[in-house]
Structure 1
């Protein structure tokens, strides 16, 4: 979970951009050593949760000496842990504490969790709250009551590709076209099932349809045997700040029955979270 919460995506990064190039602030205020430290932390991913010094240096675009000193500093602070009897490192418990603080207090998660517990099991087997981060959906909260056999990990902090999921589609659908394309191009698009859309034009057409109907549908596109509906949560300025989804095991219910049963409950829950977020000033 810790690796997922900090990873920008699940692929090795061999050409990381300089964070200063994307900063709208004064470059003179940028502290390079802090940026390099976070590059080290972001080197880890769900597919690479243990790394050697050389691997960290390569993924963070750092020389070995700089990477070594940063690793040792982060080990002292508890953000990286040396794996016993090996030359490998992994993220430390301090990363979990930091991530939990962000995900828990004073956020949409606190507003949405009671409603997620109502959606699962009344509308489906699992209900989730997620937000967009680059080309990924990051899960902020999840309640699951009946998907154990699928062994799907969607704990808070988990990332999935936005192009492949209903939750991602509903978050992308309300963005300007150029931003949709940028985020869809931010990571490789591979088929997670035979139903996964990967063609850019087909995905853009899907996003137009999602925006038109106000919700997204996935029938086995992200994972075999799962059906999902997702709805947007709008902020005070009219932009989508998060999304709610509900998922059911395909063996329990066909798509039509699931749609008829779950969509009204899902939309009511999303509208209520939206209203509470606007009234309480929560923006994400």
Structure 2
């Protein structure tokens, strides 16, 4: 909009939508924020809208809204209704929400069980699932305030075949799913962690299937000893895995196994049963 003297003005933002502050430009991507405003313009009960309706609801001018819609259509988040000038959200947007809900459900289920495990074995523990070709850390509980080596955070992704916790999941997948995971490029390829080839990986997975656990030196932090077990669902396949780490110099393989293996197996069983109870056994991203 322009004033009679040619001075440009901003379209007023609808109530409930925060105006984009130009001062925030240095620390944010304004075009992304505008794209999100277009998505947020679709409210409950309003499944389809025209460009002008979306512009009015999002507080953006028509030209910006047109560019945002074209981008979102190309990315698959918005769909043009054939033979009309209307748009609607695609199921891809729903997938984002469902994935977030599924992960929140998993964290709500896992955290108290993981905390009980940490209280029992006095070592840090983690829970992870697969996401594409990576293992994604959903929850982590420390033992006290001590940080051990590289601090794995919630949301960290690592190529699945590289890590013990990832291989604990891979070993208990159907063959077609295993092939799919291994064929998926990792989100963040590591320059320092080498992904094992199949002749190296297959014996490791076979040993996991035989023993039901993996106990080895951490490839991420060599001064840590790591024990990992799968979480097995009702169908016999892994829905995730848990791991416990201990300082290499303060624990032997036999010590860590004797202290932690049985509690870990019990925790894995409880997580699997809890997943079944809330219908979350299928919430393994990327599969």
> TM-score interval w.r.t. the shorter chain?
0.5 to 0.7
- CA distance 1:166–1:149, change in 2 (3 Å): closer
What are structure 2's unaligned runs of at least 5 residues? 1-25, 41-95
- Aligned equivalent of 2:164: 166
> What's the CA shift for 1:179?
3.5
Distance 1:243 1:71 in 2: 35
TM-score, scaled relative to structure 1: 0.59
- Aligned equivalent of 2:203: 205
Contact 2:174/2:237 (8 A) holds in 1? no
Once the two structures are superposed, the pairs formed by residues 84-95 of structure 1 within 5 Å of their partners are: none
Distance 1:272 1:175 in 2: 20
Deviations 1:96-132, CA, capped at 9 Å, x for gaps:
x97865532xx23222211211222432421111111
Contact 1:164/1:222 (8 A) holds in 2? no
Larger radius of gyration: 2
Distance 1:172 1:236 in 2: 17
What are structure 1's unaligned runs of at least 5 residues? 1-49, 54-67, 80-96
Distance 1:100 1:179 in 2: 22
What is the RMSD of the two structures over their aligned residues, measured on CA atoms? 3.3
Aligned length: 198
- CA distance 1:167–1:77, change in 2 (3 Å): farther
> What's the CA shift for 1:221?
2.0
Once the two structures are superposed, the pairs formed by residues 1-284 of structure 1 within 5 Å of their partners are: 71=32, 73-74=34-35, 76=37, 101-104=101-104, 107-145=105-143, 147-155=146-154, 157-187=155-185, 192=192, 198-283=196-281, 284=283
Contact 1:128/1:143 (8 A) holds in 2? yes
Distance 1:218 1:77 in 2: 49
> What's the CA shift for 1:276?
2.3
Distance 1:176 1:103 in 2: 22
